[in-house]
Amino acid sequence: RKEVEQDPGPFNVPEGATVAFNCTYSNSASQSFFWYRQDCRKEPKLLMSVYSSGNEDGRFTAQLNRASQYISLLIRDSKLSDSATYLCVVNTGGGNKLTFGTGTQLKVEL
Amino acid sequence: GAVVSQHPSWVICKSGTSVKIECRSLDFQATTMFWYRQFPKQSLMLMATSNEGSKATYEQGVEKDKFLINHASLTLSTLTVTSAHPEDSSFYICSARWEGGTGSYNEQFFGPGTRLTVL
């Protein structure tokens, strides 16, 4: 079983739609959780951290369920510029080692 | 956010040659840098953790004699792919850990990546 699993997609949605991605992780000792965004042939960039209480940043909402070991990302009012691959990333501690999921590809269309 | 640069951006080389990739933290010092590799349609895989002034820590399955890492200063880490082969063709990305935070996790800032093609 992979340490971090995501549905690769692609998810094709119309502009303005609301879309959600889920991610599951296998290591119950994982300490920190993140969503990164990666554009084609570019480096990943931190989108937001994920906190146990859930957190929101503009159109983006992230939630963590430790009991079920999954993380979610909700994007509201999606824009064309949101088209990218969204990476679920888990820090399992011990020197800030990050484990990346394979990413979920989002395509926002007119 | 902090800036991390990588050079070169892309490189094409012949099989059997060695390629050096540089990773620099431009506006902060980084005791720890990380090297990742990403094959098409796959996730980033951590190759090694580079520690300033000491030996790198390699992940399981990564050959330390093939992927030489040197972290000689607080702003520079280098990865040398020795005797490169076509299967080493990949996207190599470094990150530098910012150590100015107060929490248990210090954010990593990623370089723009180096695309290596071995013919």
pLDDT computed for residue B97 by the predictor: 87
Measured between CA atoms, the residue of chain B closest to residue A93 is: B105
- HEC string for A5-56: EECCCCEEEECCCCEEEEEEECCCCCCEEEEEEECCCCCEEEEEEECCCCEE
Q: Which of A3, A39, A43, A88 to mutate to test the interface with B (most CBs of B within 10 A)?
A: A43
Closest among B83, B38, B78, B44 to B63, alpha carbons compared: B83
A55–chain B Cβ distance below 8 A for any pair? no
Min Cα distance A42 → chain B (Å) is 6
Tens digit of pLDDT for each residue in A23-43?
999 998 888 899 999 999 899
A87–chain B Cβ distance below 8 A for any pair? yes
Quickly state the pLDDT bin for B2 (edges 50, 70, 90).
Answer: confident
pLDDT computed for residue B17 by the predictor: 95
Measured between CA atoms, the residue of chain B closest to residue A44 is: B110
